[in-house]
Amino acid sequence: MTIISERLQLLEEKSLAPYAMKSAQSKGREVPEEPDIIRTCFMRDRDRIIHSKSFRRLKHKTQVYISPENDHYRTRLTHTLEVSQISRTVGKALGLNTDLIEAIALGHDVGHTPFSHTGEEVLNRLLPGGFRHNENSVRVLTHLEQGKKGPGLNLCKETLAGILNHSGLEKEDSGYNTLEGQVVRYADKIAYIQHDIDDSIRAGVLQLADIPQEYLKVLGEGHSERISTLVQDLVQNSSKNISNGLYKISLSPAINEALIGLRKFMFETVYLGPLCSAERERAVYVVEFLFNYYVQNYEKLPSFYLKIAENEGIERGVTDYISGMTDNYCTTIFKELVIPRSYI
């Protein structure tokens, strides 16, 4: 039988840009594996992530609005799909490896907590050493998910590096982040800022007229127009960087300034605004209660997390359990522990 994966590697050499990360050039996995007959290593990473339990749980994890009844609001899953689409579009235009890009994009948020960044903030305060969702995404994929041969999905180092370094808008990428990883980092910001505006307008929290005109004049009035502006600029400016010998994915100064300004506006008006703040207080109470309850009664953790608590510390085991919860499951467990069963 012809080994199709070898043919795909040769195709990458011919079709991708010289600066793209080819699967044949990967630094490999923590535990070496035999090559797949059909798929390249980055294709296998993508498939392992998309078939994981942590990926499926994203459908019931909050993006901004906690457990919304309207089906049109984004969740972590739909956000992840939007990031994947935007980053693949940019990657394709730049001649990068879209299989690696897709793997990074699909896995970048699997370590997110229930109740959006509120859950992350609570666990960051309570867990010794802190909690950051990008680091937890790597932990989920390397320790908590169970592969065929034990803990972890044994992903390629480039995929894990891209997931670890996806956070932050203004930071410089580490030398370990490929151009593909850098694309996902920008696509994440492009996606969430624009779709959070869309959801906020739908929720009646925001009106288009509320958004500072200085940003709309640069990026565009409509949702799709702003995304198109950002994507086109990211491709054009990154192409300019690369042609000048600077292997860096970035927006042009004017567009980047508008995006940062829009992000700051969203934090002040929406993310830290009165509606989200009221929901945040409730979410903080629930997560704090569950954390303290299980720290004091860690023997009631499910057996998988109990073993982590015994081997790595109680707080670590409790954090792994809570961070993997969906909003719905977190609320259900809280009700079972607090409300008399006759009322449930």
For 155-197, the DSSP string reads -BHHHHHHHHT---SSSPPPTT--HHHHHHHHHHHHHHHHHHH
pTM attached to this predicted model: 0.95
Q: Domains in the chain, start-ordered, CATH in brackets?
A: 40-343 (1.10.3210.10)
| C-alpha radius of gyration, the chain, whole number | 21
Q: Which residues pair with 146 in a beta bridge?
A: 151, 152
For residues 139, 173, 14, 26, the Cα torsion angle rounded to the nearest 10 degrees is -40
Rounded distance between C-alpha atoms, residue 62 and residue 230, angstroms: 25
pLDDT bucket at 1, cuts 50 / 70 / 90 = very low
Query: What beta strand segments (E) does the chain contain?
Result: 146-147, 150-151
CB 298 within 8 A of CB 255: no
**Three-state DSSP class for 97?**
coil
The tokens of 108 are what? 């970048």
**How do beta strands 146-147 and 150-151 pair?**
antiparallel
The tokens of 201 are what? 């307008």
Average pLDDT over residues 164-188: 82
Residues 6+ away with beta carbon under 8 Å from 124: 130, 131, 132
pLDDT bucket at 233, cuts 50 / 70 / 90 = very high
pLDDT tens sequence across 50-102: 999 999 999 999 887 665 566 777 899 999 999 999 999 999 999 999 999 99
Q: Is the pLDDT of residue 172 over 90?
A: no
